[in-house]
């Protein structure tokens, strides 16, 4: 299941890290997360409009899906050197922190934000006591009720921490639930490399991003170490 | 001395943050001393301890030129010196009375081994990895995985990280110097990152005792 991109948003809703991976043959479906003119036009509407827009992309998405499945079977037989070659491709053809402020990033955030609100309000039972009402309105209730959503040509995995940090990864729609990976990135990469690093801030200004090389390398290593991202 | 003096119930992470915050505080103190505002009321002093646009959670203090300034480095080294000077007694007490080990600290080499083994284990939860000497008063103490620097890396690459590392090395330098001073050895201690291989650090101790 190829991985397309990885994003981190801070609690002020700014994108503090974006990483796009080069996916070779997947370029056509990958472009849905590049800021194509089409997306830019739709950005003037509500996020939901573009959401539908991307999910109903023309039949080209169907064919990419097929090709990825057939190529996936073949690649399982390849040696590990080829896999590492593929990992290199994935890393080098991608971009780091180039999309933090463009429409794609904002749309992605807006979609997730609204989806989360909707999901919470749909599943919250009627409050009977004041305490229940308070709980329903509090952060604890809304914490992390959205896990992922997917369309025909991508799947978006979401993890939000208690203090409002949001980790998002966009993959092929057939991917398994990667939320556990996001949790792992949070505690085994973000915590040591950023929070426990005295030379990195934990509070980001607008237009300030995580450009720490060690962090980027660790993220790349993590995603390429998942076998399925290479097949 | 009560037992709880050496009980291990302080969170290592909390202590790390506190020590790291000393560096930031020292920069702010430096900035305050350099500014024209005369310290007077307590409120004025506290307000003065903020750098310009110094938001909580950011690392603006590290890009301040005073961060690697001599005043800052000297102040941090002094913190370490004071701690080292006072804590020697506690560590010796712990070794001799509590653990019943008879340690000899008569020779400089013995003192260095004491620092590498006991002091380092107490402060950084591990021993020094290597101790070298030229037998005429110079010692090189090597820690290949210096705990405070394990996670340090700056946003602008390795060269920038190395240039910003010095303030974080001043405290242990002062610590070594303080312990040596309390045992009657005057020394100059310098620390550097070994061949840009973070977190490997070597401490160069130049004692005045020729032996």
| Number of inter-chain CB pairs under 8 A, A vs B | 50
pLDDT tens track for B141-194: 999 999 888 888 888 888 888 888 999 999 999 999 999 999 989 999 999 998
pLDDT tens track for A24-56: 544 444 444 543 333 333 333 333 333 333 333
- Cβ within 8 Å, pair B59-A201: yes
- Give the closest of B157, B164, B168 to A213, CB-based: B157
Instruction: Report the mean per-residue pLDDT for chain A.
Output: 73
Most B-contacting residue of A199, A209, A210 (CB-CB within 10 A), to test interface: A199
- Cβ within 8 Å, pair B13-A211: no
Calculate how close chain B gets to A214, using CA atoms only, in Å.
7
pLDDT score for A144: 58
Cα–Cα distance, B174 to B142 (Å, whole number)? 16
Cα–Cα distance, A185 to A218 (Å, whole number)? 9
Model confidence at A124: pLDDT above 80: no
Calculate how close chain B gets to A191, using CA atoms only, in Å.
10
Residue with tokens 């896999």: A83
Q: Are B84 and B179 in contact (CB under 8 A)?
A: yes
**Domain assignments of chain A as residue spans, ordered by start:** 3-230
Cα–Cα distance, B87 to A198 (Å, whole number)? 26
A16 touching B (Cβ < 8 Å): no
Per-residue pLDDT, averaged over A17-24, amounts to 79
Per-residue pLDDT, averaged over A53-66, amounts to 38
Q: Are A173 and A154 in contact (CB under 8 A)?
A: yes
- Cβ within 8 Å, pair A193-B58: no
Please tell me the pTM assigned to this model: 0.75
A210 touching B (Cβ < 8 Å): yes
- Cβ within 8 Å, pair A199-B57: no
Calculate how close chain B gets to A231, using CA atoms only, in Å.
32
- Cβ within 8 Å, pair B157-A205: no
- Cβ within 8 Å, pair B153-A210: no
- Cβ within 8 Å, pair A199-B13: no
| The 3-state secondary structure of A125-190, one letter per residue | CCCCCHHHHHHHHCHHHHCCCCCEEECCCCEEEEEECCCCCEEEEEECCCCCCCHHHHHHHHHHHH
- Cβ within 8 Å, pair A196-B16: yes
Predicted ipTM of the assembly: 0.80
Class level of CATH domain A3-230: alpha beta
pLDDT tens track for B12-65: 888 888 988 888 888 888 887 777 665 555 555 565 666 666 677 788 888 888
- Cβ within 8 Å, pair A198-B152: yes
A191 touching B (Cβ < 8 Å): no
Residue with tokens 């025909």: A152
**Backbone phi, psi, residue B200, to 5°:** -85, 130
**Domain assignments of chain B as residue spans, ordered by start:** 3-207
Residues of B in contact with A198 (CB under 8 A): 20, 23, 59, 151-152, 168
Class level of CATH domain B3-207: alpha beta
Q: Where does chain B show beta strands of DSSP type E?
A: 130-133, 138-143, 187-193, 201-207
């Amino acid at each position: 299941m190829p991985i397309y991109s990885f994003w981190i948003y801070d609690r002020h809703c700014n994108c503090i890290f974006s990483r796009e991976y080069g996916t070779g043959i997947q370029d056509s479906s990958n472009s849905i997360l590049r800021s194509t003119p089409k997306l830019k036009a739709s950005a003037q509407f509500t996020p939901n409009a573009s959401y539908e827009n991307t999910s109903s992309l023309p039949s080209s998405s169907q064919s990419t899906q097929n090709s990825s499945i057939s190529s996936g079977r073949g690649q399982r037989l390849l040696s590990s050197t080829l896999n590492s070659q593929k990992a290199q491709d994935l890393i080098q053809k991608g971009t780091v922190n180039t999309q933090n402020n463009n429409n794609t990033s904002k749309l992605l955030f807006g979609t997730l934000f609204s989806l989360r609100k909707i999901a919470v309000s749909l599943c919250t039972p009627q409050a009977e006591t004041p305490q229940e009402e308070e709980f329903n309105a509090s952060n604890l209730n809304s914490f992390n009720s959205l896990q992922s959503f997917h369309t025909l040509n991508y799947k978006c995995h979401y993890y939000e921490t208690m203090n409002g940090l949001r980790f998002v990864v966009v993959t092929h729609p057939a991917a398994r639930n990667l939320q556990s990976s996001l949790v792992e990135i949070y505690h085994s990469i973000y915590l040591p490399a950023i929070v426990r690093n005295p030379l990195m801030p934990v509070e980001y200004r607008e237009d300030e991003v995580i450009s720490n090389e060690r962090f980027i390398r660790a993220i790349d290593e993590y995603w390429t170490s998942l076998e399925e991202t290479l097949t | 001395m009560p037992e709880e003096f050496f009980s291990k119930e302080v969170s290592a992470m909390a202590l790390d943050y506190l020590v790291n915050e000393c560096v930031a505080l020292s920069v702010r103190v430096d900035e305050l001393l350099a500014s024209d505002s005369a310290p007077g009321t307590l409120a004025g002093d506290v307000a003065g301890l903020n750098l310009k646009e110094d938001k909580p959670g950011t690392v603006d203090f590290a890009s301040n030129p005073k961060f690697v300034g001599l005043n800052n480095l000297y102040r941090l080294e002094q913190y370490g010196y004071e701690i080292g000077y006072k804590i020697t007694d506690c560590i010796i007490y712990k070794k001799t009375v509590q653990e019943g080990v008879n340690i000899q600290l008569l020779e400089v080499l013995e003192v260095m081994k004491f620092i590498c083994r006991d002091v380092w284990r107490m402060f950084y939860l591990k021993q020094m990895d290597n101790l070298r000497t030229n037998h005429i008063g110079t010692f090189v103490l090597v820690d290949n995985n210096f705990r405070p620097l394990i996670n340090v890396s700056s946003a602008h690459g390795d060269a920038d990280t190395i240039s910003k590392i010095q303030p974080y090395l001043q405290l242990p330098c002062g610590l070594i110097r303080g312990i040596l001073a309390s045992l009657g050895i005057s020394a100059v201690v310098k620390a550097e990152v070994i061949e840009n291989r973070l977190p490997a650090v070597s401490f160069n101790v130049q004692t005045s005792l020729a032996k």
